[in-house]
Amino acid sequence: MNLSQAGRLAERIAAAVADCPSVARLSAGPAATYLPGRTVPGVAVREDRVRIAVVAAYGPPIAEVAEQVRAAAREVVPDLPVDVAVEDIEVLEAS
């Protein structure tokens, strides 16, 4: 997988994970895909696996958050293992 392919995958995974109801946002921690001139925070795409770091919305069990994230990522990369790290929990404002 070249850098361009990894970047496209990281962007698609990030978009899918951001849509998970139990995810407040992707984490700006150590998991990231570094591209020329930009970074996709919270998603590290490697040849053999994907690492995703998120901030969970307060409420659901952490295991449920992780499974939602894995399921979203598997829609994009069904053949790669997906490691999920919940870096923090955030109380979301009611809308």
Q: What is the pLDDT of residues 20-73, one digit of tens each?
A: 999 999 998 889 999 989 999 999 999 999 999 999 999 999 999 999 999 999
Q: Tell me, what's the pLDDT at 95?
A: 60
For the chain, give every domain's residue range.
Answer: 3-90
Task: Output the pTM of the full model.
Answer: 0.92
Mean pLDDT over 11-22 rounds to 97
Q: How far is CA 79 from the centre of its chain?
A: 16
Q: Which residues contact 61 (CB under 8 A, 6 or more apart)?
A: none
Q: Is the pLDDT of residue 1 over 80?
A: no
CATH architecture of 3-90: 2-Layer Sandwich (3.30)
